[in-house]
Amino acid sequence: MAEHNRNTMYCIPDDQDASTYRFIIVAAKRARQLQNGQRSVLPATNKKPTVLAMEEVRRGLVPYSDPVAEQAAAEASE
């Protein structure tokens, strides 16, 4: 059986602190921004906004916060 090579450009990161769902939502919102004309932080070797957005989120170039985690941390500190 041939082993399939995983292309790192298209794989979803395995992050213990973040969920796959959050990655997809953030990347989708970033892709929409790119489609509406916002410039990419990365050099555009690939013109597809979805691929650029996934790579930006994977590298941590797109800031986002988790309101549920922030609220839990605030309640824990009280």
The model's pLDDT over 16-75, given as tens digits with 9 standing for 90+, comes to 566 788 888 999 999 999 999 998 888 877 778 998 999 898 888 988 877 777 788 888
Local confidence band at 7 (pLDDT 50, 70, 90 cut-offs): low
- Of residues 48 and 1, the one with the higher pLDDT is 48
Residue 7 placed within a domain:
no
State how many domains the chain has.
1
CA distance 54 to 9: 8
Assess whether pLDDT exceeds 90 at residue 78.
no
Is residue 13 one of the residues assigned to a domain?
no
What is the residue range of 44's domain? Answer: 20-77
> What is the predicted pLDDT for the residue at 33?
94
pTM across the whole model? 0.68
